[in-house]
Chains A and B, each alone.
Chain A
């Protein structure tokens, strides 16, 4: 019987151990961490050239004092009622040009969504968490309205469409399609959230 030539076969039994070791290592160390938060745009430093006259009834004022209490349209309000009040204001549609609004058409409130402005003011000693909660509720009011219209027109939520549109992994053909839809819903309820400089009194 002739002896076989060449190196003897390597015992591959420990290969599985190595693979498991690697697998466990990655399971432990990998953190799927994407930061998330509220996107906002700050107003530019230079004020616009001409002074735009805005009717008082088109401004929805929200004041937060240092104890975290809310003064909305000169009345004290609980935080949980803010979203509902903001929605009622945004889709009031007093001048009747907004045919998708379901508001009460109260002449003392906003004319139409594109004119409605929410003005947020806060004290220097307001806690950041309170501020974020208020921001969240106001953004939520816009999102609720946009979701409703997107549901009506396209049969899906606006927030979901926007997330898909912003996701870089989405195919570009789908993204182009979504771009118009997202734009259309955004234009129905443009986000006009102004933040004046904080007062220190």
Chain B
């Protein structure tokens, strides 16, 4: 036994790193469960108008989003500055709205298919003509429950 030199007194014992993997795994599992894939990145400008008489959109799994607005700076060269519709991750025409709603509806569980809300996230500078066309498309596929998503605030601020 004398082969091994005796440790000097007063030396700090090495910290046991045995639990480090546990911590790392804990973090890993946490992020795995919490992270949701980002639905879509915005291709359009999306400054919502203000409104005061609003209701909260509970239960995100029952909502289908439609974005409308001017294409952002980087897309303006290609798509111009007229307000466009964004469905998922790409620009779309009005006549694609109906099939998009039907496709999204088919993805949801059966029991939710009748209680879906369509959230219209429309830029405040968009024209009603496009919105009217979208509404017409929504009526065609019987998606009658809509929510004009807004910020909370004084509605009269919209007019400036």
Contact = CB atoms under 8 A, between A and B. Distances in A.
A80 B156 contact: yes
Contacts of A45: 139-140, 142
A37 B53 CA distance: 8
A43 B142 CA distance: 9
A122 B121 CA distance: 19
A140 B155 CA distance: 11
Given A42-B144, A128-B127, A140-B52, A37 B132 contact: no
Interface string B124-150: 111111011001101110111111111
A36 B132 contact: no
A50 interface: no
Contacts, number: 152
Contacts of A159: 53
Interface stretch (A85-93, A149-157, A160-168, A176-184): A160-168
Nearest to B149: A37
Task: Name which of A122, A131, A168 has the most chain B CB atoms within 10 A of its CB.
Answer: A131
Most chain B CB within a 10 A radius of its CB, from A8, A18, A168: A8
Most chain B C-beta atoms within 10 Å of own C-beta, residue among A79, A129, A135, A139: A129
A201 interface: no
How big is chain B's contact interface, by range? 35 or more
Interface in B94-146: 117, 119, 121-129, 131-132, 135-136, 138-140, 142-146
A38 B149 CA distance: 6
Contacts of B54: 36-38
B66 interface: no
Secondary structure dominating the interface of A: mixed
A126 interface: yes
A48 interface: no
Contacts of A42: 135, 138-139, 143-146
B159 A135 contact: no
15 contacts: A8-B13, A10-B19, A36-B54, A36-B152, A37-B48, A37-B55, A39-B145, A42-B145, A42-B146, A126-B127, A132-B51, A132-B124, A132-B148, A133-B156, A136-B150
Interface of A: 7-8, 10-11, 18, 34-45, 68, 79-80, 122-133, 135-137, 139-140, 143, 159, 162-163, 166-168, 195, 197-198, 200
Closest 8 pairs (CB-CB, A-B) = A124-B129, A8-B13, A129-B158, A129-B124, A37-B149, A136-B155, A126-B128, A136-B51
Interface of B: 13-16, 19, 23, 48-59, 63, 117, 119, 121-129, 131-132, 135-136, 138-140, 142-150, 152, 155-156, 158-159
